[in-house]
């Protein structure tokens, strides 16, 4: 069975924890998009791991993890991450593979990425990891892939500084390289988890363009970046937070108003630890945006939702969610493509009573306070999609499963 886990907001939804949790029942975990711009945090007991490139399933000793064809891989970041895992007692040998179709990020691209964003009239606020430039080189057909490391003519065409940079990594990269389609053909009965990075609203096609990343973070990206056809994907799970966050620039209709809701923003940021794992930047915070979440459900054909960070609201008297936008004179319930419209959009909020109780030890849906269930069930009705898992803390066990994702 093939299950896809994607971000249904602007990234940072808690995919790392959920992929780690769901990987328990998978044999293979494939990350299919993005690069070292991602930051997936996993907490196991007193240990915390921040992963950028390697799929979150690596923390189990017996899982195979694969960096898929849709990824852009910075060798320096990859080997630093492998080293970090080794130093913390995680044996990764023989179980980390890279699709030979994945592209490589070169230091030159990182520099151009930083300079170009700085030079923009309205910077995107990229993570400065060379992601956009590497995908642009790929689209220009000038990129360099893992498979090309064996192609003398191509290597000879590279600039001297690129060749020098790659030289110490070539053998180790080649040792991890696989032909993903044939690898999957020989693992036909495996349970495979496709791990998304970033989120739907940062997807190059579906997101708030141009304030997006450059990879395919949508569910369809799992097929392309995972080297399978769309019909091979059995289930799509969309992860979202009980509120919204965004890092970098771009429209965010349900963002807390710094004048009137500054206190609420500080509370959510501190309680939810809303600081970028990759860049350390404070994340912008806001109300749960149901207009955007329903858009994510529709565009990814999400089968069920995974709600995270519900516990952040434990002490709140009242909880609000955005159910429509006011754009000029109009009330809008569909997520607009126009950045101008999104930038003008004011959230129309619906209020829910808080539960004023710690959810940390809750393990079944029935044990949740009625107010928390009311909030969840409203979301289900609005998005016409069930919420199958609720996360109430960072630890693996702090998770409520309503329906196992591994059932068809
Ligand atoms: P890039 O991916 O570095 O080009 O950045 C483009 C935009 O996507 C910026 O606004 C980043 O802050 C955002 N972004 C990229 N990766 C992530 C992520 O993993 N979480 C949240 N935001 C991200």
Which candidate, 390, 245, 244, places its Cα nearest to that of 308? 390
Do residues 182 and 252 both lie within one domain? no
CA 278–ligand 1 middle distance (angstroms): 9
The tally of domains found in the chain comes to 2
Q: What is the CATH number of the domain that holds 172?
A: 3.40.440.10
Do residues 81 and 132 both lie within one domain? yes
CA 251–ligand 1 middle distance (angstroms): 14
| Model pLDDT for residues 161-179, shown as the tens digit of each residue | 999 999 999 999 999 999 9
Top mutation candidate among 247, 276, 283 for ligand 1, by most atoms within 8 Å of CB: 247
CA distance 48 to 178: 30
The residue whose CA is least distant from atom 2 of ligand 1 is 213
Supply the pLDDT for residue 39: 87
Residue 379 has pLDDT above 90, yes or no: yes
Concatenate the DSSP letters of all residues of 27-94 into one string.
Answer: SEEEE-SB-TT--EEEEETTEEEEESSS-GGGGSTT-EEEE-TTBEE-HHHHHHHHHHHHHTT---TT
The pairing of strands 318-327 and 330-332 is: antiparallel
Q: What is the CATH number of the domain that holds 279?
A: 3.90.170.10
Do residues 49 and 171 both lie within one domain? yes
Higher pLDDT, 46 or 119: 119
Cβ proximity of 146 and 78 under 8 Å: no
Residue 43 pLDDT class (50, 70, 90 cuts): confident
The residue whose CA is least distant from atom 5 of ligand 1 is 126
Do residues 249 and 224 both lie within one domain? no
Please say which residue of 190, 218, 237 terminates a domain: 237
- Please indicate, yes or no, if residue 408 is contained in any of the structural domains: no
| Model pLDDT for residues 100-158, shown as the tens digit of each residue | 999 999 999 999 999 999 999 999 999 999 999 999 999 999 999 999 999 999 999 99
CA 103–ligand 1 middle distance (angstroms): 18
- Please indicate, yes or no, if residue 317 is contained in any of the structural domains: yes
CA 214–ligand 1 middle distance (angstroms): 9
Residue 408 has pLDDT above 90, yes or no: no
The residue whose CA is least distant from atom 1 of ligand 1 is 126
Tokens encoding 43: 């907490």
CA 37–ligand 1 middle distance (angstroms): 6
Do residues 115 and 35 both lie within one domain? yes
Mean pLDDT of 62-77: 97
- Please indicate, yes or no, if residue 301 is contained in any of the structural domains: yes
**Ligand 1 atom nearest to 12, measured from its CA:** 20
- Please indicate, yes or no, if residue 24 is contained in any of the structural domains: yes
The residue whose CA is least distant from atom 9 of ligand 1 is 126
- Please indicate, yes or no, if residue 407 is contained in any of the structural domains: no
Supply the pLDDT for residue 29: 97
The residue whose CA is least distant from atom 10 of ligand 1 is 248
Q: Rounded mean pLDDT of the chain?
A: 96
Do residues 124 and 193 both lie within one domain? yes
Full residue range of the structural domain in which residue 260 is found: 240-401
**Ligand 1 binding pocket includes 308 (Cβ within 6 Å):** no
Cβ proximity of 249 and 122 under 8 Å: yes
| Model pLDDT for residues 238-264, shown as the tens digit of each residue | 999 999 999 999 999 999 999 999 999
Phi, psi of 142 (to 5 degrees): -115, 10
Do residues 279 and 316 both lie within one domain? yes
pTM over 0.85: yes
In the chain, % of residues over pLDDT 70? 100
**Ligand 1 binding pocket includes 35 (Cβ within 6 Å):** no
Tokens encoding 33: 């998009």
Do residues 231 and 251 both lie within one domain? no
Cβ proximity of 359 and 373 under 8 Å: no
Supply the pLDDT for residue 82: 97
**Ligand 1 binding pocket includes 125 (Cβ within 6 Å):** yes
Please say which residue of 237, 254, 276 terminates a domain: 237
**Ligand 1 atom nearest to 215, measured from its CA:** 2
| Model pLDDT for residues 179-228, shown as the tens digit of each residue | 999 999 999 999 999 999 999 999 999 999 999 999 999 999 999 999 99
CA 126–ligand 1 middle distance (angstroms): 6
**Ligand 1 binding pocket includes 11 (Cβ within 6 Å):** yes
Total residues belonging to the chain: 408
- Please indicate, yes or no, if residue 337 is contained in any of the structural domains: yes
**Ligand 1 binding pocket includes 12 (Cβ within 6 Å):** yes
Q: Is residue 259 classed exposed, middle or buried when 0-12, 13-18 and 19+ CB atoms within 10 A define those classes?
A: exposed
Do residues 253 and 387 both lie within one domain? yes
**Ligand 1 binding pocket includes 306 (Cβ within 6 Å):** no
Cα distances (angstroms) measured from residue 336 to each of 52, 197, 324: 31, 23, 11
Kindly list the catalytic residues: 12, 40
Residue 41 pLDDT class (50, 70, 90 cuts): confident
With helix as H, strand as E and coil as C, how does 161-210 read?
HHHHHHHHHHHHHHHHEECHHHHHHCCCCCCEEEECCCCHHHCCCCCCCC
**Ligand 1 binding pocket includes 72 (Cβ within 6 Å):** no
Sign of CA dihedral 335, 337, 339, 340: negative
Concatenate the DSSP letters of all residues of 137-149 into one string.
Answer: HHHHT---BGGGG
Residue 277 has pLDDT above 90, yes or no: no
Q: Is residue 7 classed exposed, middle or buried when 0-12, 13-18 and 19+ CB atoms within 10 A define those classes?
A: buried
**Ligand 1 atom nearest to 279, measured from its CA:** 12
- Please indicate, yes or no, if residue 253 is contained in any of the structural domains: yes
Residue 56 has pLDDT above 90, yes or no: no
Cβ proximity of 56 and 29 under 8 Å: yes
Mean pLDDT of 317-338: 97
CA distance 282 to 279: 9
Please say which residue of 205, 237, 269 terminates a domain: 237
CA 248–ligand 1 middle distance (angstroms): 7
Top mutation candidate among 126, 212, 272 for ligand 1, by most atoms within 8 Å of CB: 126
In the chain, % of residues over pLDDT 90? 93
Do residues 119 and 92 both lie within one domain? yes
CA 213–ligand 1 middle distance (angstroms): 5
**Ligand 1 binding pocket includes 126 (Cβ within 6 Å):** yes
Cα distances (angstroms) measured from residue 141 to each of 37, 102, 105, 138, 213: 22, 13, 14, 5, 19
- Please indicate, yes or no, if residue 258 is contained in any of the structural domains: yes
Find the Cα–Cα–Cα–Cα dihedral 366, 372, 373, 377, rounded to 10°. Answer: -160
Residue 279 has pLDDT above 90, yes or no: no
Concatenate the DSSP letters of all residues of 300-326 into one string.
Answer: HT-SEEEEE-GGGGTT-SEEEEEEEEE
**Ligand 1 atom nearest to 248, measured from its CA:** 10
Do residues 35 and 53 both lie within one domain? yes
CA distance 117 to 106: 17
Do residues 278 and 346 both lie within one domain? yes
**Ligand 1 binding pocket includes 37 (Cβ within 6 Å):** yes
């Amino acid at each position: 069975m093939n299950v896809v886990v994607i971000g249904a907001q602007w990234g940072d939804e808690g995919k790392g924890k959920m992929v780690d949790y769901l990987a328990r029942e998978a044999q293979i975990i494939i990350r299919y998009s993005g690069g070292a711009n991602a930051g997936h945090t996993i907490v196991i007991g007193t240990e915390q791991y921040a992963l950028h490139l390697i799929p979150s399933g690596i923390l189990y000793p017996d899982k195979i993890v694969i960096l898929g064809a849709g990824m852009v891989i910075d060798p320096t970041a990859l080997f630093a991450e492998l080293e970090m895992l080794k130093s913390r007692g995680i044996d990764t040998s023989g179980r980390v593979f890279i699709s030979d179709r994945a592209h490589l990020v070169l230091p030159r691209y990182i520099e151009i990425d930083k300079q170009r964003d700085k030079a923009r009239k309205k910077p995107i606020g990229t993570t400065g990891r060379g992601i956009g430039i590497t995908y642009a080189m790929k689209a220009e057909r000038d990129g360099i892939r893992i498979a090309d490391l064996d192609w003398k003519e191509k290597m000879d065409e590279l600039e001297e500084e690129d060749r020098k940079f790659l030289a110490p990594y070539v053998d180790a990269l080649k040792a991890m390289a696989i032909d993903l389609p044939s690898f999957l053909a020989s693992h036909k009965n495996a349970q495979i988890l496709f791990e998304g990075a970033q989120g739907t609203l940062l997807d190059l096609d579906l997101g708030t363009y141009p304030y997006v990343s450059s990879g395919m973070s949508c569910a369809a990206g799992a097929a392309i970046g995972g080297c399978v056809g769309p019909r091979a994907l059995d289930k799509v799970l969309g992860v979202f937070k009980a509120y919204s966050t965004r890092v970098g620039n771009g429209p965010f209709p349900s963002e807390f108003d710094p004048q009137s809701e500054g206190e609420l923003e500080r509370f959510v940021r501190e309680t939810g630890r809303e600081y970028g794992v990759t860049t350390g930047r404070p994340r912008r915070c806001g109300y749960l945006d149901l207009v955007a979440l329903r858009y994510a459900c529709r565009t990814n054909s999400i089968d069920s939702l995974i709600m995270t960070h519900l516990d952040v609201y434990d002490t709140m008297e009242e909880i609000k969610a955005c159910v429509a936008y006011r754009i000029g004179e109009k009330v809008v319930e569909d997520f607009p493509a126009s950045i101008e419209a999104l930038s003008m959009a004011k959230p129309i909020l619906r209020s829910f009573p808080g539960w004023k109780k710690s959810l940390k030890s809750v393990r079944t849906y029935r044990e949740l306070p009625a107010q928390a269930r009311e909030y969840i069930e409203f979301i289900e009705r609005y998005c016409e999609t069930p919420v199958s898992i609720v996360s109430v803390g960072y630890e693996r066990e702090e998770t409520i499963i309503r329906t196992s994702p591994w059932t068809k």
